[in-house]
Copies of this chain bind each other. A is one copy, B any other.
């Protein structure tokens, strides 16, 4: 029985082409016992940012940007509408207790993983500080972990000057014994965006570092392939951590720490596709998008496009 001719209370009125499946339509709120290919969780926290950041708003804008994409890849002639995405929602953080909030992120990622409901997971930040609790949870669940980090910055600052900020996640992970230095690869590191002390730290800990000059000279795809091969021998699971400021400011204008000389949108999408094709890759976070600084949600759209390259393989 249709109650109304053109109204569906509780559902938005949007134009529907019967042959098009929008990615956002594939998101199903997780319910007990449900399983799917992809698990999605929002980690909306950015009070740990050194500079002012509203990155905590990004899970909302990235999810909304999924409505700009369909499930079909023409290049592969493959429709991924069968890929079920379970949405676990956003973690409820605390307005004034910062450590408590970080704990909640950790607990929530762990609780999600413990459901064993999905094959792969996407974590939407938030600032880069959310990778610390997220990667810890992955380590605890899957065992030895390797990380490929897209970033202009090392993010291995000391913790004495400001606590556990968005500049410290990999320092916290390595010093805390959750991640071995040699199991971390950093791609897209920029000149004049880091300090000598932290460069030395990466050498000392055996972190694999690829600068923009490396990307320019060797190409980003061969770099990713090499690291996948190297890491896959050392670890049980590989985690992708995508700080959007690795991308040039022209292509990702909504990051707090925008700057020139980064990778292009095509380089980002192709490199994530390549990385995601490896079976040990189980998780990816996307961080450092501040929607209040963006232009037409461009950076969130790029993030959504990156999600597709991870999900559809």
Contact = CB atoms under 8 A, between A and B. Distances in A.
B261 A269 contact: yes
A90 interface: yes
A161 B95 CA distance: 9
A114 B19 CA distance: 34
A94 B194 contact: no
Contacts of A56: 52
B7 A259 contact: no
Contacts of A269: 260-261
A226 interface: no
Given A17-B195, A48-B95, A98-B96, A107 B261 contact: no
B292 A265 contact: no
Interface in A90-125: 90-98, 104, 107-108, 111-112
B89 A161 contact: no
A129 to B, nearest CB: 9
B68 A257 contact: yes
B194 A70 contact: yes
Nearest to A14: B92
Interface string A7-42: 111111101111111010000011110000000011
- Most-contacted residue by chain B among A6, A57, A108, A260 (CB, 10 A): A260
A298 B15 CA distance: 27
A176 interface: no
Contacts of A18: 158, 160-161
Contact of A54 (B54, B68, B212, B261): B54
B13 A89 contact: yes
Contacts of A293: 292, 296
A162 B15 contact: yes
A3 interface: yes
B260 A302 contact: yes
A86 to B, nearest CB: 8
Nearest to A46: B52
A142 B250 CA distance: 38
B250 A298 contact: yes
A163 interface: yes
A143 to B, nearest CB: 23
A147 interface: no
A30 B52 contact: no
Interface stretch (A185-193, A230-238, A279-287): A185-193
A5 to B, nearest CB: 5
What 4 A-B pairs are tightest by C-beta distance, nearest first? A10-B29, A96-B163, A19-B197, A95-B162
Given A54-B54, A74-B189, 15 more contacts: A6-B91, A10-B87, A13-B92, A16-B161, A17-B167, A23-B192, A48-B96, A52-B56, A52-B57, A96-B164, A216-B270, A260-B269, A260-B298, A260-B302, A292-B293
